[in-house]
């Protein structure tokens, strides 16, 4: 196969490593100091060059002439790898060493206690945010300094984009630059009180998680339903998270799109039926469990078995369900059951709707710490750029701080499952408000050092450009329905909440269909659940990739609108404030003015806007 051909890590690479290498480089064994247990450990050893198999020591060793160099070492009853096997490993390295999230060759897996734990807080100044007490203790243990605080404008831009998906108003930025100190707690409260801004930003996160979209696979044939008219008001009202989960697991008419999944047309394999999708999606989204790998055989990633995957599926299935192992019927019938019987079990003799209600109750059981930790870890990852547990869907991975994770989980429960209360606790902590100049180095064992600089999502990026230029798409009846969420249904919601009628207001990117620009910027096709956006391409690369008319058209329309502005100096100042929440430096002002004549043309303004929107400072949430 050509080097560029895709490689299936689990089914091509793992068997080879298992057969030839892990007895000496996996589990407890790390001959020559080399362990292949995790991707991080493989990279750390510096024995391969991702993307470049031909200069990778690991490949050289497979065919080395010198018996002292060859792997596996000759003479230990270990046959050398054949050409086909070597080819797979080359393709694996050429493809940047893909690894299944959470997969390890290590024997001992972390098994978190199911029940929430009481957290004993380290001592510290009265009134300190409990997050900071735990984090300070961590830094002390690691002999690291607490990171430097972010200045007010950096903090305000970060908090505003993180919580509402939009930049702060230019007026606010101006006040700060005049030296007026910001009351940060109040600023966070104000942002969280912006019901609409909050809901329209978090739509993106939940749409990804619930694979809710407005067009694409399944919609035309009726094999898929939106949950938008349920989700949007749920976010507007900050529906308590236990109720939120209950209404998704044992749904109303409007929220049932999530558990119904996608009815694929034509032949599907056993792991793609709607019952198995239910099993996979419910466990991934709410429990951070990768059930995909247990849908054809017992999982090799964690402890979940084929029988357990089918047990969940049988809660949903209206007809008796036979277990299939790798698409082959086993003769065993699935029994409706769930994953943590210590909290109670499903009564399989009850009809489906009751079984779903039982599952909803078990899922939101106050002692189901797994559900609580999974959501607070996701929120932390959204705000801080990396989960306390990573990957966020492998909650059987050891957190870098069990106490921090459980502190947040307990806060969720004690606040009445209030997601905003958890976000508030995070956003008002000193650590969230620290400088985010820390970049991750995947090749080293992870040590928490503070917030990670994040790239804006497609939605944040495009909405920020729109906020700066003031040009928003408008809903216009049926045309809007074609483009995204249904205007008619949402108007009812808007009316009920005293919000401006849907047809008369700017439409945020989250409500539109995905176009090629958004796709290039990382908005996923939502055929599958997606729980984190890729950060591998930069915004600039993505824009070049898309190279389409969307962005150019937006910026042109913005330039036309701003063309009414009187004075170029004012224009530069207000665009800097709106885009970057700060004043232009003297040099930036000079350069910008050189792009704008005394009476700037639309093209001049376009050039100027491009120059600001292409700044890394603009693309990142610092």
Judged by the rule CB under 6 A, the positions of this chain that interact with ligand HEC are 10-11, 14-15, 18, 20-21, 23-25, 31-34, 45, 47, 57-58, 61, 71-73, 76, 78, 81, 100, 103, 269, 271, 292-293, 295-297, 300-301, 326
Nearer to ligand HEC, 103 or 155 (CB): 103
Identity of the residue, 47 or 593, whose beta carbon is nearer to ligand HEC in the bound complex: 47
Planar angle of CA 214, 219, 223, nearest 5 degrees: 135
Smallest gap from Cβ 33 to ligand HEC, in A, equals 6
Which element (helix H / strand E) includes 206?
A: helix 195-209
Q: Which residue lies nearer to ligand HEC by CB, 41 or 596?
A: 41
CA triple 510-200-220, angle to 5 deg: 40
Q: What is the rounded distance in angstroms from the CA atom of residue 92 to the CA atom of residue 1?
A: 12
Residue placing its CB nearer to ligand HEC in the complex, 58 or 381: 58
Q: How far is the CB of 75 from ligand HEC (least distance, A)?
A: 9
**3-state SS, residue 512:** strand
Based on C-alpha coordinates, what's the Rg of the chain? Answer: 26
Closest CB 529 distance from ligand HEC, rounded Å: 14
- Shortest Å distance, C-beta 404 to ligand HEC: 29
Distance CA 100, CA 121 (A): 35
Residues 6+ apart with CB under 8 A from 470: 558, 561, 562
Nearest distance from C-beta of residue 591 to ligand HEC, angstroms: 49
Cβ 88 to ligand HEC shortest distance, Å: 11
| Helix/strand/coil for 16 | helix
Is 450 in contact with 436 (CB distance < 8 Å)? yes
219 by Cβ neighbours in 10 Å (0-12 / 13-18 / 19+) ranks as middle
Q: Tokens standing for 202?
A: 């978090």
Please state at what angle helix 170-177 crosses helix 152-164, rounded to 10 degrees.
160
Virtual CA dihedral for 356, 358, 364, 366, nearest 10 degrees? 180
Closest to ligand HEC by CB, 80 vs 488, is 80
Helix (H) / strand (E) element for 330: namely strand 328-333
In the complex with ligand HEC, which residue's Cβ is closer, 67 or 351?
Answer: 67
Name which of 24 and 517 has its Cβ closer to ligand HEC.
Answer: 24
How far apart, in whole angstroms, are the C-alpha atoms of residue 413 and residue 146?
A: 29
Least separation in angstroms between residue 17's CB and ligand HEC is 7
Omega prior to 72 cis, within 30 of 0: yes
Q: Rounded to the nearest 5 degrees, what angle is found at the Cα of 565, between the Cα atoms of 616 and 571?
A: 30
Torsion of CA 249, 251, 256, 260, to 10 degrees: 40
Two structure tokens written together for 341:
């019987």
In the complex, the smallest distance separating the C-beta of residue 321 from ligand HEC, rounded to whole angstroms, is 16
Q: Smallest distance, Å, CB 13 to ligand HEC?
A: 9
Q: With respect to ligand HEC, which residue has the nearer C-beta, 34 or 198?
A: 34
Q: In this complex, which beta carbon is closest to ligand HEC, that of residue 23 or of residue 367?
A: 23
Q: How far apart are CA 101 and CA 278, in angstroms?
A: 20
Minimum Å gap between C-beta 71 and ligand HEC is 4
Residue closer to ligand HEC (CB basis): 42 or 404: 42
Least CB distance from residue 383 to ligand HEC, whole Å?
28
Closer to ligand HEC by CB, 33 or 351: give it. Answer: 33
Tell me the residue number closest to ligand HEC, measured at CB: 32
Nearest to 431 by CA among 159, 169, 129, 228: 129
230: tokens are 């349920």
Cβ neighbour number for residue 43 with a 10 Å cutoff: 17
Q: Which is nearer to ligand HEC, 76 or 120 (CB)?
A: 76
Query: How many CB atoms within 10 Å of residue 33?
Result: 7
**Shortest approach of ligand HEC to residue 503 CB, angstroms?**
44
State in angstroms the smallest separation of the CB of 60 from ligand HEC: 9
- What is the C-alpha separation between 168 and 582, in angstroms, rounded? 10
Q: Please check whether residue 452 is in contact with residue 471, taking contact to mean a CB–CB distance below 8 angstroms.
A: no
Question: Tokens 């694979």 belong to which residue?
Answer: 211
* Residue 15 or 470 having the CB closest to ligand HEC: 15
């Amino acid at each position: 196969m050509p080097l560029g051909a895709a490689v299936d890590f689990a089914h091509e690479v793992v068997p080879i490593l298992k057969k030839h290498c892990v007895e000496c480089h996996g589990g407890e064994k790390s001959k020559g100091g080399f362990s292949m247990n995790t991707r991080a450990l493989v990279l750390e050893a510096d024995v391969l060059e991702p993307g470049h198999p031909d200069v990778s020591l690991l490949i050289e060793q497979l065919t080395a002439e010198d018996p002292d160099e060859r792997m596996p070492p000759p003479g230990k009853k270990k046959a050398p790898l054949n050409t086909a096997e070597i080819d797979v490993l080359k393709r694996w390295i050429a493809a940047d060493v893909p690894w299944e999230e959470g997969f390890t060759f290590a024997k001992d897996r972390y098994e978190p206690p199911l029940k929430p734990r009481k957290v004993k807080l380290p001592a510290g100044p009265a009134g300190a945010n409990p997050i900071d007490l735990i984090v300070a203790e961590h830094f002390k243990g690691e002999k690291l300094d607490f990171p430097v605080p972010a200045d007010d404008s950096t903090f305000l831009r970060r908090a505003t984009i993180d919580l509402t998906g939009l930049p702060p108003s230019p007026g606010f930025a101006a006040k700060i630059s005049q030296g007026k100190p910001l009351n940060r707690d109040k600023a966070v409260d104000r942002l969280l009180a912006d019901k609409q801004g909050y809901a329209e930003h978090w739509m993106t996160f939940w749409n990804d998680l619930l694979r809710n979209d407005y067009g694409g696979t399944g919609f035309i044939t009726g094999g898929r339903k939106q949950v938008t008219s349920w989700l949007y008001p749920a976010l507007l009202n900050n529906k308590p998270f236990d109720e939120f989960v209950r209404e998704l697991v044992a749904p109303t008419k409007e929220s049932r799109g999530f558990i119904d999944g996608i009815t694929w047309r034509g032949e599907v394999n056993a792991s793609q039926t709607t019952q198995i999708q239910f099993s996979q999606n419910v466990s991934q989204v709410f429990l951070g469990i990768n059930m995909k790998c247990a849908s054809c055989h017992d999982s090799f990633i964690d402890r979940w078995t084929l029988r357990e995957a089918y047990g969940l599926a049988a809660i949903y299935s209206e007809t008796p369900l036979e277990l299939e192992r790798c698409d082959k019927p086993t003769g065993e019938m699935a029994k409706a059951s769930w994953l943590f019987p210590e909290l109670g079990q499903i009564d399989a003799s009850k009809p489906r709707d009751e079984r779903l209600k039982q599952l909803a109750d078990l899922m939101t059981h106050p002692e189901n710490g797994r559900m609580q930790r999974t959501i607070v870890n996701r929120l932390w990852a959204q705000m801080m750029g990396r989960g306390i547990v990573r990957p966020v869907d492998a909650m059987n991975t050891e957190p870098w701080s069990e106490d921090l994770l459980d502190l947040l989980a307990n806060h969720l429960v004690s606040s009445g499952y209030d997601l905003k209360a958890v976000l508030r606790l995070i956003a008002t902590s000193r650590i969230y408000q620290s400088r985010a100049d820390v970049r991750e180095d995947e090749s080293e064992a992870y040590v928490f050092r503070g917030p990670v600089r994040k790239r804006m999502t497609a939605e944040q990026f495009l909405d920020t450009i729109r906020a700066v230029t003031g040009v928003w798409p408008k809903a216009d009846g049926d045309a809007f329905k074609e483009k995204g969420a249904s205007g008619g249904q949402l108007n009812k919601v808007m009316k009920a909440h005293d919000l401006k009628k849907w047809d008369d207001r700017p439409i945020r990117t989250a409500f539109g269909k995905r176009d090629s620009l958004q796709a290039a910027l990382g908005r996923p096709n939502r055929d599958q659940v997606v729980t984190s956006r890729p950060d591998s391409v930069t915004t600039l690369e993505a824009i070049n990739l898309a190279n389409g008319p969307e962005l150019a058209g937006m910026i042109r329309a913005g330039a036309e609108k701003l063309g009414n502005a009187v004075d170029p100096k004012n224009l530069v100042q207000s665009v800097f404030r709106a885009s970057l929440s700060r004043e232009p430096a003297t040099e930036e002002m000079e350069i910008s003015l050189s792009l704008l004549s005394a009476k700037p043309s639309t093209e001049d303004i376009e050039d100027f806007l491009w120059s600001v929107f292409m700044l890394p400072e603009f693309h990142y949430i610092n």
